[in-house]
Amino acid sequence: MNKSIGFIGLGIMGKPMAKNLLKAGHTVVCYDLNENAVKEVMEAGASAGKSLRDVAERTDVIITMLPNSPHVREVVLGENGVLEGAKAGKILVDMSSIDPIVSREISAAVSKKGIIMLDAPVSGGEPKAIDGTLSIMVGGPGEAFEKVKKILEKMGASVVMVGDIGSGNVTKLANQIIVALNIAGMSEAMVLAAKAGVEPEKVYQAIRGGLAGSTVLDAKVPMILNRNFKPGFRIELHIKDLLNAINAAEGVGAQIPLTSQVLEIMQNLKTNGKAQNDHGGIIQYYEQLANIEVKKNQ
């Protein structure tokens, strides 16, 4: 029997994820401050929760998909929040990308009431959220993971248990470092090609089948060539993830100097009004330095 699911947070990622659960036949009670987003998910078959507490009272599994640590803390532990409505035995799955230390703190707080928490951040951006092929990395108790695995598989093509609570977000931070450095490296290379008078699209086609080929290369270069910086994943959100990565690295004594450099590039772009751009827009930093634009030949 399909479980009833509370889904809190209907942003770029959360909205299509909730819709995929509805397509799979789950009962979904949704909540978001954006009334238009709630209406859209209701049109797909969901019902709306009157409050965070109401969502938790009415569902077996509560999923949160929120911007950052303070939002998750407030939604779960705040007044009239999830914790006030959830009963012992219910499972909270936080799919937000947050500081793993905060994941552990929230888990410790909800466990006092008998609620089990998993942290299960995702990778893949809006396109993979829409087609249900996200990569989902999960931390928490194995027994709870087994109970919700089939639910997660309706939103992701890869669902991997990586360790205890907080491990999901550590894995996501590692993922975000690799993606950020990939985009920066690709940006440097494509700006070099354009500045040297070689057609960037042909460079891309020549290298994508070799060792330099990557999912990042195939996802971002076509967007850049078409000057499409509509966000699948916004620069401002990647800044948040890299700040969390640096905080986590300091906590365990790891050195991540390249991450700090790419973070500085992203913050420069944010200062220049590009916070809402897709993170592929990192290339604009290098373009400005070289006074050239990487695009398809007209």
pLDDT tens string 133-158: 999 999 999 999 999 999 999 999 99
Q: Which residues are catalytic?
A: 172
Domains and CATH numbers, the chain: 4-165 (3.40.50.720), 170-290 (1.10.1040.10)
CA dihedral 226, 228, 232, 234 (to 10 degrees): 140
Chain-centre distance of CA 44, in angstroms? 22
Read off the amino acid at residue 75.
Answer: V
Read off the amino acid at residue 128.
Answer: K
Handedness of CA 272, 276, 279, 284 (dihedral sign): negative
> What per-residue confidence (pLDDT) applies to 125?
86
124 vs 140: CA distance, rounded Å:
22
- Angle, helices 257-271/283-290, rounded to nearest 10 degrees: 80
pLDDT digits over 177-204, tens only?
999 999 999 999 999 999 999 999 999 9
Torsion-angle region of 183 (φ positive above 0: left; ψ -120 to 50: alpha; else: beta): alpha
pTM for the whole thing?
0.90
> What per-residue confidence (pLDDT) applies to 247?
92
Closest CA to 103 of 128, 150, 71: 71
